[in-house]
Amino acid sequence: MSVTSVRQGQSLLSTAKDQSRLPAGLCQKSGPNVCGSRFHSYCCPGWKTLPGGNQCIVPICRNSCGDGFCSRPNMCTCSNGQLSPSCGAGVQSCNVRCMNGGSCTEDSCSCTKGYTGNHCGQPVCENGCQNGGRCIGPNRCACVYGFTGPQCERDYRTGPCFTQVNNQMCQGQLSGIVCTKTLCCATIGRAWGHPCEQCPAQPHPCRRGFIPNIRTGACQDVDECSTVPGVCDGGECTNTAGSYVCTCPRGYISSTDGSRCSYQKICVFLASFLLSESIEGAVFLLFLRYR
């Protein structure tokens, strides 16, 4: 063997070793729909390569495309040109358009979860929308002004609070207080708002004296002494669990349930005897003094 042949063999061996050390990026996936880094790439979910190729250009469909073909991940282009999650018998004769991912079979739509209707165009809100709210997407409500929450169940409107309802007329408006209906009806209110709305006999979801926490929904005690200024009418207010108690000062009397203090008018009769030279006997004068 000549020296030249040995050198050529060494050169070929060296070249093979060098190729084995090539950066991994040269053998990575290429083209569109590629995920990962430059040193470790792979086809994004829903895509694969052609046999023997390295370009991620072939979409993957979970369902059978029947007489159509898979044109994008999990979407078939059927023989009539319609896009659908699957194609099968009867697709060619389907004359209705299915929305929101619904599939057509024998001129009727089979809707995906969250939609209903002849064309799958009507969203479904499983728990409904309250207080005039409208279902605009699967379990998604659009609320009217003054309401919020997943089902528009929370009322954040503010208005006056009334302590009495007589002949369907609201009376006893609490002076200087503007609050939500929930807070009014949970404390001393019997009606709320303008126009007036009567409070329910039993507030929901918490009993009287409690309101639901905005974040957790748990019922928490209302401090009537701080939320309803002057609730005791001159007395000292003490908050209790679900209620409050008024301690009344001298000259005031407490209501039967201890929720109010009212001013007590006391009549003191003073008798005086006046002597008169022209009138014999005694004259009684009555003086009324209020305190």
| Residue 275 domain-assigned (yes or no) | no
The answer, as to whether pTM is greater than 0.75, is no
Same-domain status, 181 and 219: yes
| Residue 184 domain-assigned (yes or no) | yes
Question: Residue 83's pLDDT is what?
Answer: 85
Same-domain status, 233 and 203: no
| Residue 217 domain-assigned (yes or no) | yes
| Residue 196 domain-assigned (yes or no) | yes
Same-domain status, 216 and 191: yes
Same-domain status, 220 and 162: yes
Backbone torsion region of residue 67, taken as left when φ is above 0, otherwise alpha when ψ lies between -120 and 50, otherwise beta: alpha
| Residue 189 domain-assigned (yes or no) | yes
Of 100-104, 141-145, 217-221, 284-288, the poorest mean pLDDT is in 284-288
Same-domain status, 214 and 243: no
Cα-to-chain-centroid distance, residue 122: 21
| Residue 200 domain-assigned (yes or no) | yes
Does the pLDDT value for residue 218 go beyond 60?
yes
pLDDT digits (tens, 9 = 90+) for 27-47: 566 678 888 777 778 888 888
85 in Cβ contact with 63 (< 8 Å): yes
Total domain count, the chain = 2
| Domain finish residue from 224, 247, 275 | 224
CATH of the domain at 240: 2.10.25.10
| Residue 33 domain-assigned (yes or no) | no
Q: Which domain holds residue 233?
A: 227-263
